[in-house]
Each structure stands twice: as structure tokens, then as C-alpha cells.
Amino acid sequence: EDKVVQSPLSLVVHEGDTVTLNCSYEVTNFRSLLWYKQEKKAPTFLFMLTSSGIEKKSGRLSSILDKKELFSILNITATQTGDSAVYLCAAYNTDKLIFGTGTRLQVFP
Amino acid sequence: DAGVIQSPRHEVTEMGQEVTLRCKPISGHDYLFWYRQTMMRGLELLIYFNNNVPIDDSGMPEDRFSAKMPNASFSTLKIQPSEPRDSAVYFCASSLARLAGGRGFFGPGTRLTVL
């Protein structure tokens, strides 16, 4: 059965801290790994990763994929209160996205 | 483009009533997905369509749930009869298969409360 597992389930940090969110997957016909940020509404797209070892970066967020070990990480440096959200990763096979349960990040001032 | 449109945004109903959720995908997208999100189970895929044809409905919880896509610009998810455990946020998403990775665009969701 296809599955995506995220860790930790939740994380509480102070502003300025750096966090690393983990995502492992076992998905047949894997094509790519996607990261979403979800506040109190629909998930919004952050990154899509298709190749191993190539870091994608957007401001303070970065992500990388390891297709050999079947995992991805999402890093957030110098966290801000606005980063508080649930971060979802999803593995895309030939047809659909399979989501993990998410990591809830809370950033306090 | 207006993005994926869902209606209603909120629905409160009583147990036993029929509920119909609606979705208009992004024009030109050939995949449409229905998801359900709860605190306990996270985001679950219920069913998806390709070119209006249901491809995989293995996530539909039981016979009380049904989904249709009569044309490329409209889909419905129906629950009949509804039960309190159906309370959740239901998201519709669409994507264009030709895009590498199948990035999905989510609608704003329908928050369903069954009393």
C-alpha cells in the first residue's frame, strides 16, 4: 500500500529558530514529491521535487529529495510567526497525490 | 483564472439529510480530485476523475458517498444520508496531467457539519 509518513507530528519553536521537517514515502510509480503549506484554508503549493540531490529554494524555505533513501526534507531558517501552519508533503505517482498527515509548526515570538 | 471554485463554503445539516458539494475545476485541467480532511485522519483522497471518467474511487468511505462529473467544468460529491462522522472539510483539486509532477490546485474547501 502506498504511504507517506511525516515527522515530527508537531513542532513548537521560537522566532529565529531553524526547523527541519521530514517526509518519507513508499509509493509505486513514484514521479515527484510536493510540499504544501496549509493555514486555516486550502493547501498552497511550495515546492515540487523530481530529481535527487537538487535543492529547491524560496526565500527562507528550501527542500531536497533523496530518491534512493525515499525521503525529503523541508528546511525553514530564521522562522517567523507567519510560518506557523501545517506542512504537508505528498508523493505523486502516475495519477494522484498521496498525502502525509502533516507536521504542525507553531512559531512563537 | 478564478482557480478551483467550490460551493457552498459552509454547510450545516442534520443527520439523515442529503448533502451535495459542488466543484468547478480550472478550465483546461483534465484531472479532478475530491479530498476529505479531518483532524484525526488528515487529508484523504476520496475519488478522482480523468477526462470526466472516475478512475479510482477506493477512498470513498461507503455507499452513502457518490461523485459525478457530468462535464469537464463541473463535479458533485453527494452524501446521502449524512451522518455526524461525515463532518469534515471537503476539498476539490484539479490538475493538468501534462504538467510534470501533476501539481494540484486546491479549491477553498467546503466545511461540512452534520448535527
Q: Say if residues A88 and A100 touch (Cβ distance below 8 Å).
A: yes
Q: Is the pLDDT of residue A17 over 80?
A: yes
Q: What's the distance, CA B54 to chain centroid?
A: 12
pLDDT band per the 50, 70, 90 thresholds, residue B100: low
Chain A residues whose C-beta is within 8 A of a chain B C-beta are 31-32, 34, 41-45, 48, 50, 88, 92, 95-102
Strands (E), A1-109: 3-7, 10-14, 19-26, 32-38, 44-49, 56-58, 61-66, 71-76, 85-92, 97-99, 103-108
User: What is residue B39's three-state secondary structure?
Assistant: coil
Shortest distance between the Cα of B115 and any Cα of chain A, in A, equals 22
Chain A environment of B101 (Cβ under 8 Å): 31-32, 34, 48, 50, 92
Of A105 and A1, the one with more pLDDT: A105
pLDDT band per the 50, 70, 90 thresholds, residue B99: low
Shortest distance between the Cα of A92 and any Cα of chain B, in A, equals 6
Using DSSP bridges, classify how beta strands B110-114 and B10-13 pair: parallel, antiparallel or unpaired: parallel
Chain B residues whose C-beta is within 8 A of a chain A C-beta are 31, 33, 35, 41-45, 48, 50, 55-56, 91, 93, 100-109
Chain A environment of B35 (Cβ under 8 Å): 99
Q: Say if residues A96 and A90 touch (Cβ distance below 8 Å).
A: no
- Interface size between A and B, measured as CB pairs under 8 A: 60
pLDDT band per the 50, 70, 90 thresholds, residue B109: very high
Chain B environment of A102 (Cβ under 8 Å): 42-43
Of A94 and B13, the one with more pLDDT: B13
A47: nearest Cα among A21, A79, A26? A21
pLDDT computed for residue B98 by the predictor: 57
Q: Is B57 exposed, middle or buried (0-12, 13-18, 19+ CB in 10 A)?
A: middle
Strands (E), A27-83: 32-38, 44-49, 56-58, 61-66, 71-76
Of A43, A100, A101, the CB nearest to B106: A43
pLDDT band per the 50, 70, 90 thresholds, residue B62: confident
Using DSSP bridges, classify how beta strands A61-66 and A71-76 pair: parallel, antiparallel or unpaired: antiparallel
pLDDT computed for residue B104 by the predictor: 79
Q: Is the pLDDT of residue B11 over 70?
A: yes
Of A84 and A31, the one with more pLDDT: A84
The cell numbers describing B72, all together, are 469537464
Which residue is closest to A101 within chain B, CA to CA? B42
What is the percent of chain B where pLDDT is above 70? 95
pLDDT computed for residue B2 by the predictor: 77
pLDDT computed for residue A61 by the predictor: 97
Q: Which residues pair with A44 in a beta bridge?
A: A37
pLDDT computed for residue B97 by the predictor: 73
Distance CA B78, CA A74 (A): 36
